Amino acid sequence: MAFQLPTWMALGPTFVLGLTALLLLVFDSITPNATSRGVLSGTATLGSLVAVGLSAWYLLAGTGAEPIRLYQNSLVVDTMTLFFAFVFSSVTALVSVASYDYLRDHSYQAEYYALVTLAATGMTLMAAANSLAVVFVSLELASLPSYALVAILKKNRGSVEAGLKYFLVGALSSSIFAYGISLVYGVTGSLLLPEIANNLAAPELTGVLGLGIMMVLGGFAFKTASVPFHFWAPEAYEGAPAPISAFLSSASKAAGFAVAFRVFLVAFPIEQLVTGAAASVDWVLAAQILAVVTMTLGNFAAATQDTVKRMLAYSSIGHAGYVLIGLAALSGGNNEFVLAGGMSHLLVYGFMNTGAFLFIALTEYWSIGRNFEDFNGLASQAPFACTVMTVFLFNLAGLPVGGGFMSKYFLFGAAVGAGFWWLAAVGAINSAVSLYYYSRVVKAMWIEDASGEFDIESKPVGLYAALAAAAVVTVLLLPGFGPVWQYATDAAAALVA
Amino acid sequence: MWIEALIAVTLASAFAVFLAPNKVAGKLAFALSLLPLVGSLWMYSTYEASGNALLEGSELAFESNFEWVTAGPYALNWHVGLDGISMPLVALTTVLTSLALLASWTPIDERQSQFYGLMLFLEASLLGVFSALDFFVWFVFWEMVLVPMYVLIGVWGGPRRKYAAIKMFVYTNIASLVMFIGFIALVFGLGDSVTSLDMPAIAQALRAGELGGLGPLSAGTLKVAAFVAMFAGFAVKVPVVPFHTWLPDAHVEAPTPVSIMLAGVLLKMGTYALLRFNFTMLPKVAQNNAQIIALFAVISVIYGAMLALAQSDLKRIVAYSSVSSMGYVILGLVAYTLYGMGGATFQMVAHGLISGLMFMSVGVIYNTTHTRMVSDMSGLASKMPFTVAVFVAGAFGYMGLPLMAGFAAELFIFLGSFGAFAGSVWFTAAAMFGIVVVAGYLLFAMQRTLFGTFELETDYEVGPAAFHDVAPLVVLILLVILLGVEPSIFYTMIQDAVNPLVPAAGGGV
């Protein structure tokens, strides 16, 4: 090794994203009204692409193979941190490119990009958090910009209402989460995740500890839009600008899972909590119930929606349920693979789901309606965009046209391997249901005849570029799933060890 | 690397055609489809292999095997290769695709580039299905077939195309899921004795009796349950009565070229998979339940033929007759004799060519007359003698006239199944009766539509068809006769791959 980067550089992706946000604010304060859309969107894209590059580079160089502990162990950079940093910054890049066209006539452009990159900073920090205090702070750093972003279309009542609802539910679950943290701290006397695990042997307060763990779980359920804290999600995703829906349903959800995986595996080892002296709460059982209920509710609700965006919103709840299998099938002796299944599904999901919502952004840009019928015959007008959307939808449904099939297969396969074949069976049935509503969109676009004329006056470059990039990656993840799975298992192995 | 090249060239052609302007798409697609055609024929001529792809001691042609994703028990490999069962089907796919593309020039008059692009995409997926030897790779291609098919029927089909497309999609996709669960249960039942989804490895482990139980299921129950799940899944694709209802709808609504692909190649996916999975991996279960499976086969033969007899739409007649013909394949497979299984494989190819021929000629008649109703037309022979002659030749092939491919195939099947298992005499006799019904409805339909005095209830001028419409028909009829006169072109190859499966040859377990 001729040259060694300083250890704090391990947080490179986080720093780059944070600096990008600050830079955007500087642009805005120099010329509040004159900064061009191109500069803002370009800066945000460039910043997130640098973060993508850094996290990919670190992964390839094996930076996280030996966890790097920073700031008295309250932050840790391991393979999982970098894996998720890659997901968040990829989604941020796609969203930033696509927003260039979407925000054409909107105000608060600089603030928009600054908030997006700030939220992304919070998310990468969440993936690195090794102390409950940092978890809380980074969660808020990711959440607060999100509330504002959902409501950023100030003149649109849906947007404002969604933002308010999101904010209220968010505030409530934050306080539940904070209370849960304080209970855990009260019992174990520490906020650092590894130390909590060490201090778990305090039998006299097991009830309080159990309550605290359940409250922490509730906080994560909110962030990942899992039942029972899911009901903000359809409203928020529907009311928010479509690129923000993409951002929240892909990156923000993944962030919730990243931190949930770490907290539950490192701080609350399930063997101790079920059988040890500290036997207090079987959170794996809770996760199993959550997983089954979340996927079923999400998928069946999605099947009954009238608008495409709302359908995608509910289906994203369903996908949260699939990923929850990653937690729910633990303790089956196959932990590494189950967890890796959840992680790799989140990575693939980051691209396919972002792509699907960006297609919605495109239709909103063209002012095509929101219902399924409004998409009728769109393929004859915009064959490229519709082909790409078809790829996303079939991937989300788990047909083998891209990585979506791979990650689902590995996830369900690992669950069966861990002995939780019934979880996989519920997942498979849900997948079959999801094909119904996803193919409704495909049917509308390709097979139905157009009911009216579309007013497609232009093909926005930014949105098209983002869609194409997301589609290419989604498809390439089928043949190129090997490295994803490799890094995911490495990351998972480090956590469950 | 030849198989990879074949699939890659076809996929690249599909993209090229998708981006090409509508005007040139048809001709470009046909020209590009000649590449995989020539490639597969070249592969055929240099084919050198022995044995069955899934069994030990075999040597495959054009095999390649790479690691793809390594993950303990979930490892995936890119494993492709051809044996005597898959090689003829690969050749059939490329031949029929090129001819179907030629037959698309007249009927397809909108969004051509998308149509031809999807047709080539379909071809690539089919080539993958017949050459993949890793279950995962195979399943990817298997499901990929559905996507272009769904759009092809849904956009370019007849008046009830949306209903037909969705019915096809839902039926076959649910079937795939059922089959997938069955197969994966087997893999998990095998536990540590397999380390990947490699089909040869799994087949050998299963035949060696390494299957353990899974959860509450004992090994025996698991075997039967998985067999039933896989059989149900593939039976929809074949289709076997009573899982056949999606097929007539799909056929009638699909445009001619898509019908050709559907009957000619897609249905073979079902029987091919049955042969590869059910009959190769779990031969004992199949043999123990031979009567039940044969019953399905015979019902498909007779009931399909009866339904065909009752139709008044020419295309529906041909569509139902496919149900009947595929029933013979199942009967041949369950016989577990050299002739039975070899004949079944031969019938896949023969039926592919003959049904392609029939759909194509019905399509040509429809392009000229704009009706398919038997009652609407009469005496077509006087106006379009050439097309009618080919139609009659195809029908004779269907009836199993000697010196045509259908005869050879059915003869092998009956020879093979007669006396193969307890009660097989009766099943064979009943199935043979199906031939009589087939001859009945085809002759009846031809007599009413083709011969007699010319009468037509349509406003269109009737005349001879264009050259590019009849040329594929001629190619097909020549192939059908060639295979009928000289079955050994395929048959020796097929026998070599089927032989290790047959108990009499020491292959049965």
DSSP of A179-204: HHHHHHHHHHS--BHHHHHHT---GG
Alpha-carbon torsion, ordered B501, B132, A396, A394, to 10 deg: -100
Global confidence as pTM: 0.86
**Structural domain boundaries, residue B378:** 289-509
pLDDT of residue B73: 63
User: Which residue from A91, A81, A73 is spatially nearest to A11, judged by alpha carbons?
Assistant: A81
Judge whether A202 and A187 are in contact, CB under 8 Å. Answer: yes
- Residue B128 — pLDDT band, cuts 50, 70, 90? very high
In-domain check, residue A333:
yes
Q: What is the domain count for chain B?
A: 1
For B138, the closest chain A residue by CA position comes to: A400
Residue A311: how many CB atoms within 10 A of its CB? 24
- pLDDT above 90: percentage of residues in chain A: 24
* Residues A481, B184: C-beta atoms closer than 8 Å: no
In-domain check, residue B315:
yes
CA atoms of B6 and B1, how far apart (whole Å): 9
Q: What is the domain count for chain A?
A: 1
Judge whether A166 and A235 are in contact, CB under 8 Å. Answer: yes
Highest mean pLDDT: which range of A321-335, B87-101, B406-420:
B87-101
Residue B215: how many CB atoms within 10 A of its CB? 12
In-domain check, residue A74:
yes
* Residues A446, B169: C-beta atoms closer than 8 Å: no
CA distance B18 to chain A (A): 10
In-domain check, residue A58:
yes
For testing contact with chain B, the best of A338, A401, A409 (most B CBs within 10 A): A409
* Residues B111, A447: C-beta atoms closer than 8 Å: no
In-domain check, residue B447:
yes
In-domain check, residue A3:
no
Position A374, amino acid = D
Burial of residue B489 (CB within 10 Å: 0-12, 13-18, 19+) is middle
- Is A10's pLDDT higher than 50? yes
Judge whether B124 and B14 are in contact, CB under 8 Å. Answer: yes
Judge whether B282 and B223 are in contact, CB under 8 Å. Answer: yes
Distances B458 to B259, B369, B506 between C-alpha atoms, Å = 24, 7, 61
In-domain check, residue B415:
yes
For testing contact with chain B, the best of A336, A422, A447 (most B CBs within 10 A): A447
Out of A400, A413, A435, closest to residue B139 by CB? A400
| pLDDT 10s digits, B417-472 | 988 888 889 999 999 988 888 888 888 888 888 888 888 777 777 777 788 888 89
CA atoms of A184 and B383, how far apart (whole Å): 90
In-domain check, residue B445:
yes
Q: What are phi and psi of B50, to 5 degrees?
A: -150, 150
In-domain check, residue B168:
no
Q: What angle do CA B156, B363, B25 make, to 5 degrees?
A: 50
CA atoms of A323 and A317, how far apart (whole Å): 10
CA atoms of A488 and A317, how far apart (whole Å): 22
| pLDDT 10s digits, A149-175 | 998 888 888 888 888 888 998 898 899
* Residues B147, A394: C-beta atoms closer than 8 Å: yes
- Residue B508 — pLDDT band, cuts 50, 70, 90? very low
CA distance B350 to chain A (A): 30
CA atoms of A146 and A256, how far apart (whole Å): 13
CA atoms of A378 and A78, how far apart (whole Å): 45
CA atoms of B443 and B439, how far apart (whole Å): 6
Q: What six digits make up the tokens of A151?
A: 């409501």
In-domain check, residue B379:
yes
CA distance B216 to chain A (A): 11
CA atoms of B435 and A337, how far apart (whole Å): 55
Q: What six digits make up the tokens of B457?
A: 């209830």
| pLDDT 10s digits, B330-343 | 999 999 899 999 99
CA atoms of B374 and B384, how far apart (whole Å): 16
Position B469, amino acid = D
Out of B74, B111, B140, closest to residue A413 by CB? B74
- pLDDT above 90: percentage of residues in chain B: 43
pLDDT of residue B509: 45
A132 Cβ neighbours under 8 A, 6+ residues apart: A181, A184, A185, A191, A193, A196, A216, A263, A267
Rounded mean pLDDT, A31-52: 85
pLDDT of residue B235: 93
Which 8-state DSSP code applies to residue B198? B
| pLDDT 10s digits, A278-325 | 667 788 888 888 899 999 998 998 888 888 889 999 999 999 999 988
Contact B27/A at CB under 8 A: no
Residue A21: how many CB atoms within 10 A of its CB? 23
| pLDDT 10s digits, B21-31 | 989 999 999 99
In-domain check, residue A403:
yes
In-domain check, residue B482:
yes
Judge whether A48 and A96 are in contact, CB under 8 Å. Answer: yes
In-domain check, residue A1:
no
The average confidence (pLDDT) of chain A is: 86
Distances B322 to B248, B266, B392, B408, B410 between C-alpha atoms, Å = 9, 12, 17, 17, 14
- Is A410's pLDDT higher than 60? yes
Rounded mean pLDDT, B115-132: 94
**Structural domain boundaries, residue A301:** 9-496
Answer whether the bond into residue B216 is a cis peptide, omega within 30°: no
| pLDDT 10s digits, A173-211 | 899 999 999 998 888 888 888 888 888 776 677 788 888
- Is A1's pLDDT higher than 60? no
Rounded mean pLDDT, B192-205: 87
